[in-house]
Structure 1
Amino acid sequence: MRHLIPRIVGICCLLSLIACTTNQQIDLIVYNAKVYTVDSSFRTVEAVAINNGVFIDLGNSQDLLQKYKAKELLDAKGKYIYPGFYDSHGHFFLLADAMEEVSLLGTRSYDELLERLKDYVAKNPDKSWIIGNGWDQNLWPDKEFPTKDSLDKYFPDIPIFLSRVDYHAALVNSQALKQASIDTVFHIEGGLISSDEEGKLDGILLDNAMKLVSDHIPMEDTKVLARMLKRTQDSLFAVGLTSIVDAGLTEQQIESLKILYNADSLQIRNYAMVRATPKSVKNYLRAGTFESERLTVRSFKLMADGALGSRGACLLHPYHDAPTSGFLLEKPEEFDQLIKQLAASNFQVNTHAIGDSANRIILDSYGRHLKNPHDRRWRIEHAQIIAPSDFHKFAQYAIIPSVQPTHATSDMYWAKDRLGAERLKGAYAYKELLEQYGLLALGSDFPVEHYNPLYGFHAAVARVDKTGFPKGGFQMENAISREQALRGMTIWAAYACFQEKKRGSIEKGKDADFVILEDDIMMAKPEALRDIKTIRTVVAGETVFKR
């Protein structure tokens, strides 16, 4: 027995030595890259190690390859890695619908719109409704709203509903109005049923009036909806998006998402805002917040006003080019009562506010009712036009500006007409808003704008359109730096959704969501930014898109 003891001790030492020198088994190492961690020091590394869907290590390639034994090795071949891009304001269901509908984006006249409709109807003869989106009268020679007369002439028997590019106005034909039993003009709070000089319906509906007709459009069944959302998700993955904010969903849409995520039918991370109505507020306050691995419901979306392009944004003074100041979608006291109620809950509140009057009303209401604002992270969505005396309220009340940089470069051609030169100085003022709060949450507002996050990155830092117009940039005093823009579409976006400890940067313990691009957006020439391609998109360590 005494002879066996040294042998047993030796075997134990050998086993211990083997255990100490055996590489840890993990799922994936990505190496030979330039990795922008977007951590607090904004450092770069060469490689990352991933296991069970999270980053477990990062550093130089040689060290990680020696330290771990991975089931999969991915040589990035010197390409550029960033945290998965996060769109802070989009519309998942609207984009899914838009991909199925007739696109009117870029039409340069009403005649071109009609030709697209004729072509679509010829190719889709069995449609019970014709739904389209994307027209913008500001691109047409006369810049006037269209009327239903031509729709009635060419399409007398099928209802038609055509959303303006901002989804705050719609053109409908007589058959659609008939479906909704609308045969005369009447007042609707927060909306407008437009008429001609003789008081007859002309087919234009603004904001809350749109719902009178859209509620009659048949809904897709669950299988069709799942296919549509999956197709939309794949398009988002193809441009490097791994997380989105779904800005304002009905109860039915949210419950559909819960079913789809529970069945693993969707992979993109979704921070879904509940569209605030008396019924939805009552129901979700009773049910409480919801959070799964990829779906979160802990915020309400309020709509204060309409859009600038359709003159529905609520301004302190009349439009520069029309005798109207726009309008609120609800009465100020109704907003205030709802905000007071939600301030007593643990839900976040995020309010669409475009005009300077709408922004003032909502900021002041937030300030009245928020007791510990820094803990609540309430947001203003768009924060598009701010009166000079109101900027400080974002800092005073700790309100996050959630902005969409491509709105500036889409609206710049006509925004001065709407606002005048002096008021325009307080519009699209991203740098000023950043300096007030200390961060910006960046998004696209898709499908109002394109969902490619690099378009927003380009607009934020260069303040020009895809052609490089205007020379020198639009109101460059409010451009932000590339580092700030990247933070805005990663870690700051995550912070605005209470998720900065889980995602938004490449750090140990965080979700392994990242994107590999063919070129470096931190160094590429401004004119090249929009054309940089996504090579690979990864969510929780799993490749969801590969070029």
Structure 2
Amino acid sequence: MKNIFSLLIVSLLFINCQKEKVDIIIINSNTYTVNSNFDKAEAFAIKDGKFIAIGTTDEIQEKYQSKKTIDAKNQTIVPGLIDAHCHFYRMGLQQQKVSLEGTKSYDEVLQKISDFKDKTGATYITGRGWDQNDWEVKEFPTKEKLDKLFPRTPVAVRRVDGHALLVNQAALDYSGITKVIKVEGGEFITKNGKLTGVLIDNAMDYIKFPSTSKKQAIQGLLDAQKICFSYGLTTVDDAGLNRNTIELIDSLQQIGSLKIRVYAMVSADNQKQIDYYIDKGIIKTDYLNVRSFKVYGDGALGSRGAAMRKPYSDRENHFGALIYAPERYQEIAEQIAASEYQMNTHAIGDSANTWLLKTYKKVLKNKKDRRWRIEHAQIISTEDFKNFDNILPSIQPTHATSDMYWAEDRVGSERIKGAYAFKDLLKSYGKVALGTDFPVEQVNPFLTFYAAVVRKDLENYPNEGYQMENALTREEALKGMTIWAAYSNFEENEKGSIEVGKFADFVILNQDIMTVDGDKIPKTNINSTFLNGEKVY
């Protein structure tokens, strides 16, 4: 009997020696791989930061061994989430500024600014988040109350969409502005011939701000990373970065302080910056991908800066405006088309979308697989949907549920039919990349999923959902937040799904977003976030 027992031990040791050693094994999970068949799996093995096997729990345990095995206990696992359009760095810096999100009146805005001043002693107050559409009086504020509260402290706070700025007289004085300035692609809002303190789009460039220190910039990036990991984001597409910030991100990634993967869209508002990166060529590491330019086509719908083909329904003879002269977009597009870089252009209004689609089509003729993107693609004329056949829509579903209360007032009952048309865009291109546009919207990607699929606000309004003919299925929404977003970044072979050879980026959820009741989707939380098989949250 003793010999038989010893033989059994030796046999087990021999079997174990035949198993391949890996870094981590996940078993007993409810994993959505998001591969081409949208297969599910129970288990997977990770080695050197990549998935090396996916299968059943028995299959993985039979072939692999590891000192670290995680029993998922049937928890849901999805690939690391990708935000295809956000402002990662800006959101990080916002943690050091006054936050005005969710304010329900101008008086509440003023109170938050006063509290921030008392707490920090700031000598120049900046921040973001006010939205007059959420107030009882849905009109732009004026600066008189700000002037009384802060006669000597400059205040400059951006609207939630970043396309309007409210400043006081001290900020105008600091910037040397003494009169209304006529601006192409922007506007100084006036009342009775006097400056109100609200500036739209390009007019904001006339306001001077204190420079951001390197210490503040680093802290902003680290703060943003912490927030993103807590929501299961492992890759962020930052829509509009300058060279200094991109190089800072790269340096922090190289020393391991910044681990999140960044798809950096270079801001195209500076010709020298366009020239520099086109001459330098694509920059690609496991953590940083610089191969695209972010261009602004027009402003935002909420501030009536979006460029429309016909006047706004709620402002007579007002069309919004393109940020640049039309021919400038042609120049930029031709230069980028002659390189390997991608062009990603913000386009909200139907006029902006029409012009950018025409420009793209002209310069991309006979050029294959360029994956140029229209960011937002918010209001589309009926005849323009067909032009997305080779132009990738990068959309943010929560814009629909944030704007639905007033969007029809802006554009009317006919034009609204082509607005927030996610399904129609998907039918045209075959894929959509989904993002949040944070900090314009909340960072939470499950609000993106909810808005795409259920199309309601958190109060269950409207009862039947908003324009449900353009809702996405849950499978489409998850693909838009993973594999299709990776595709939009030319990264579908390295991330976006749980498949052999790809980075081991994945997220463990507290519930199954693919089957839970729709109204429970926003309650989804992250239990753990893994990047390269390392737990980062």
In which range does the TM-score fall when normalised by the shorter chain?
Answer: over 0.9
Q: Distance in 1 between matches of 2:475 and 2:119?
A: 46
Letter of the structure 2 residue corresponding to residue 234 of structure 1: K
Q: Distance in 2 between matches of 1:219 and 1:81?
A: 42
Q: What pairs with 1:299-310 in structure 2 (closer than 5 Å)?
A: 299-310=292-303
Deviation at 1:132, TM superposition (A): 1.8
Contact 1:373 1:399 in 2 (8 A): no
Among all aligned residue pairs of Structure 1 and Structure 2, give the percentage whose two residues are the same amino acid: 49
CA deviations on 1:221-265 (whole Å, 9 max, x unpaired) are: 223322221121111111111111000111222122122222221
Q: Distance in 1 between matches of 2:285 and 2:374?
A: 25
Q: Distance in 2 between matches of 1:521 and 1:19?
A: 39
Contact 2:234 2:505 in 1 (8 A): yes
Q: Paired residue for 1:456? A: 448
CA RMSD of aligned residues (A): 1.4
Q: What is the SS of the residue equivalent to 1:521?
A: coil
Q: Paired residue for 1:43? A: 39
Are 1:401 and 2:393 an aligned pair? yes
CA deviations on 1:359-385 (whole Å, 9 max, x unpaired) are: 000000000010345410000000000
Equivalent position to 1:168, from 163, 166, 169: 163
Q: What is the SS of the residue equivalent to 2:498?
A: coil
Q: Paired residue for 2:510? A: 518
Are 1:435 and 2:427 an aligned pair? yes
CA deviations on 1:90-116 (whole Å, 9 max, x unpaired) are: 001110122221111111111111111
- TM-score (ref. length: structure 2): 0.96
Deviation at 1:66, TM superposition (A): 2.1
Are 1:184 and 2:175 an aligned pair? no
Q: Paired residue for 2:462? A: 470
Q: Distance in 1 between matches of 2:91 and 2:205?
A: 18
Q: What pairs with 1:67-466 in structure 2 (closer than 5 Å)?
A: 67-125=63-121, 127-197=122-192, 199-213=193-207, 216-276=208-268, 277-323=270-316, 324-395=318-389, 398-466=390-458
Contact 2:93 2:216 in 1 (8 A): no
Q: Distance in 2 between matches of 1:284 and 1:384?
A: 29
Q: Distance in 2 between matches of 1:528 and 1:19?
A: 46
Deviation at 1:19, TM superposition (A): 8.8
Letter of the structure 2 residue corresponding to residue 315 of structure 1: M
Contact 2:167 2:197 in 1 (8 A): yes
- TM-score (ref. length: structure 1): 0.94
- Most deviating of 222-231 and 504-513: 222-231
Contact 2:92 2:219 in 1 (8 A): no
Q: Distance in 1 between matches of 2:522 and 2:227?
A: 16
- Most deviating of 183-192 and 308-317: 183-192
Q: What is the SS of the residue equivalent to 1:425?
A: helix
Letter of the structure 1 residue corresponding to residue 421 of structure 2: A
Q: Distance in 1 between matches of 2:260 and 2:361?
A: 34
Q: Paired residue for 1:54? A: 50
Q: Distance in 2 between matches of 1:269 and 1:418?
A: 37
Deviation at 1:27, TM superposition (A): 0.1
Q: Which runs of 5+ in 2 are unaligned?
A: 1-9
- Most deviating of 100-109 and 473-482: 100-109
Letter of the structure 1 residue corresponding to residue 88 of structure 2: F
Q: What is the SS of the residue equivalent to 2:420?
A: coil
Q: Distance in 1 between matches of 2:16 and 2:196?
A: 79
Deviation at 1:283, TM superposition (A): 1.1
Q: Distance in 2 between matches of 1:358 and 1:249?
A: 22
Q: Distance in 1 between matches of 2:70 and 2:482?
A: 23
Letter of the structure 2 residue corresponding to residue 207 of structure 1: D
Are 1:30 and 2:26 an aligned pair? yes
Q: Distance in 2 between matches of 1:230 and 1:132?
A: 19
CA deviations on 1:336-379 (whole Å, 9 max, x unpaired) are: 11101111111000000000000000000000010345410000
Q: Distance in 1 between matches of 2:104 and 2:53?
A: 52
Q: Paired residue for 1:534? A: 526
Letter of the structure 1 residue corresponding to residue 282 of structure 2: T
Q: What is the SS of the residue equivalent to 2:398?
A: helix
- Most deviating of 21-30 and 376-385: 21-30
Contact 2:80 2:233 in 1 (8 A): yes
Q: Distance in 2 between matches of 1:105 and 1:21?
A: 58
Deviation at 1:448, TM superposition (A): 0.2
Contact 1:304 1:352 in 2 (8 A): yes
Q: Distance in 2 between matches of 1:233 and 1:257?
A: 11
- Most deviating of 259-268 and 358-367: 259-268
Q: Which runs of 5+ in 1 are unaligned?
A: 1-13
CA deviations on 1:117-166 (whole Å, 9 max, x unpaired) are: 111111112x1211121101111122110011110001011110110010
Q: Distance in 1 between matches of 2:160 and 2:513?
A: 28
Q: Distance in 1 between matches of 2:58 and 2:280?
A: 50
Contact 1:319 1:418 in 2 (8 A): yes
Q: Paired residue for 1:6? A: none
Contact 2:298 2:322 in 1 (8 A): yes
Give the paired residue count: 525
Deviation at 1:517, TM superposition (A): 0.2
Contact 2:91 2:220 in 1 (8 A): no
